[in-house]
């Protein structure tokens, strides 16, 4: 009987040990589950934190993209405004350049008119003799058809630019018609637009036979038809006038 009791006690003790092991296993399982739960909670927390960080990053990227798009739009507007401003500056420069050119042209025209006026004033101081009436009077004395060979020779000489002779002299005794021939030549050259000047000396008029008057009159007539000659003459006379004003000698 004691043996049975001992056996029962051993079996009860064994069961207690098994129950204790089961309790320990259960406790360990609970502990493991709790740890797993804690780990899972930590993972979920980390995932949530990561998700929030990703979401925040996405929002930041979205704001950055919006800011970039706005910056691009601002740059485009600035470029358009700059282009518009450049066009307006170019237009203003063109207007300014045109205005400057117009002012320069007006100034040049005014200067030319002033110079021309001064030149005309200087030339008016020269003696001038109008030979037109003398020419007409002599032409009336001409017998049409005479001296044809001579006139042909004169025209040939005038047209011959290679001729070394710059002057043609008509000589003859008094009353042979030299003045009539000269007047007819002048008349024909007038009609052809080739006469630049003429002067007929007259023995009975001191003014007409005065060499100074003759030269000044021819200079005035040449100035009317030869602009280059007029400019050169005005410059020369201006220098002479300046020299006279400073006490130097130099006749006009």
CA nearest neighbour of 148 among 185, 198, 173, 187: 185
Task: Please report, in tens digits, the pLDDT of each residue of the chain (252 residues total).
Answer: 777 777 777 877 787 777 777 878 888 888 888 888 888 888 888 888 888 888 888 888 888 889 989 988 988 889 899 889 999 999 999 988 888 888 888 777 766 665 666 767 888 888 889 999 999 999 999 999 999 999 999 999 999 989 998 899 999 898 889 999 999 999 999 999 999 999 999 888 899 999 999 999 999 999 988 999 999 999 888 887 655 555 544 444
CA–CA distance, 147 with 31 (Å, rounded to integer): 155
Residue 226 gets which letter from DSSP? Answer: -
**Residue 171: CA atoms inside 13 Å, Cβ hemisphere, count?**
3
Residues 221, 166, single domain; the answer is no
The model's pTM: 0.51
Q: Is residue 139 part of a domain?
A: yes
* Tally of structural domains, the chain: 2
Domain around 216: 201-252
Q: Is residue 150 part of a domain?
A: yes
**CA dist 127 to 130, 216, 224, Å?**
10, 5, 14
Q: Is residue 238 part of a domain?
A: yes
Q: Residue 106 contacts by C-beta under 8 Å, 6 or more apart in sequence?
A: none
Residues 134, 182, single domain; the answer is yes
Contact 252, 236 (CB under 8 A): no
186-242 pLDDT, tens per residue? 999 999 999 999 999 988 889 999 999 999 999 999 998 899 999 999 988 888 765
CA–CA distance, 171 with 167 (Å, rounded to integer): 13
Residues 189, 214, single domain; the answer is no
Residues 183, 211, single domain; the answer is no
Residues 207, 162, single domain; the answer is no
Q: Is residue 163 part of a domain?
A: yes
Residues 139, 190, single domain; the answer is yes
């Amino acid at each position: 009987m004691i043996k049975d009791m001992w056996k029962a006690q051993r079996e009860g003790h064994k069961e207690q040990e098994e129950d204790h092991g089961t309790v320990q296993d259960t406790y360990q399982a609970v502990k493991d589950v709790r740890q797993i739960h804690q780990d899972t909670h930590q993972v979920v927390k980390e995932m949530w934190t990561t998700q929030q960080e990703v979401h925040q990053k996405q929002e930041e990227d979205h704001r950055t993209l919006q800011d970039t798009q706005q910056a691009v739009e601002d740059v485009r507007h600035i470029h358009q405004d700059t282009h518009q401003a450049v066009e307006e500056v170019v237009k203003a420069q063109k207007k300014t350049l045109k205005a400057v050119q117009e002012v320069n042209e007006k100034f040049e025209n005014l200067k030319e008119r002033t110079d021309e006026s001064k030149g005309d004033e200087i030339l008016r101081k020269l003696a001038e003799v109008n030979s037109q009436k003398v020419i007409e009077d002599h032409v009336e004395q001409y017998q049409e058809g005479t001296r044809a060979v001579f006139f042909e020779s004169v025209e040939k000489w005038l047209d011959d630019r290679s001729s070394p002779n710059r002057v043609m002299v008509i000589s003859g005794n008094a009353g042979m018609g030299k003045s009539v021939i000269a007047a007819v030549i002048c008349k024909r050259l007038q009609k052809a637009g080739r006469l630049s000047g003429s002067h007929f000396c007259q023995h009975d008029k001191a003014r007409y036979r005065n060499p100074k008057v003759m030269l000044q009159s021819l200079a005035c007539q040449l100035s009317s038809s030869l602009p280059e000659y007029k400019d050169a003459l005005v410059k020369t006379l201006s220098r002479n006038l300046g020299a006279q004003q400073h006490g130097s000698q130099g006749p006009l």
